[in-house]
Structure 1
């Protein structure tokens, strides 16, 4: 499956839906979407990963980039990650800096 990253902004919440494989080849597209979200000064970043099948080190580096680019006061939610993607987040300790959830509801 080809990589897809789609951004939707609403009421200060940046929602990015990811699908496919996030690796070195697809990393530039994800970086572009992160920068768009940061430029709109989102108060929350929600990454929907239900359809993300693979997360390579380049993708993980961009998750760290997202944390820095969005700023320390922006909460990041990782929604629906599973299997190897969730395993990578946990193995690297990235899950300690974000909210891992099965679903997301605005509050």
Structure 2
């Protein structure tokens, strides 16, 4: 769960469920495709975290008031919706490229 003004968004798609909650300002980050490694880098109080690859689970851990969230794999579609200064971003599915875009950045 995330603290602050970022709401929870559960993505259930193709056996892939993801919930990402952040707080403060989250910057844009491109996820490395190939159902492999992913990296999320946030600005401000969101730390960078390497997602566990192999098309398995992803872990996003933020510093400060951003909690850790496990991304259930599936190589499907993902969506991140945040309230406040975190914008919604649709992740390109198919175990390919993903993009997280934060508002204000």
Q: Return the TM-score normalized by structure 1.
A: 0.33
More relative contact order in 1 or in 2 (CA 8 Å, sep 6+)? 2
TM (norm. structure 2) is 0.33
Which structure has the highest helix share of the two? Answer: 1
- Write 1 or 2 for the structure with the bigger share of strand: 1
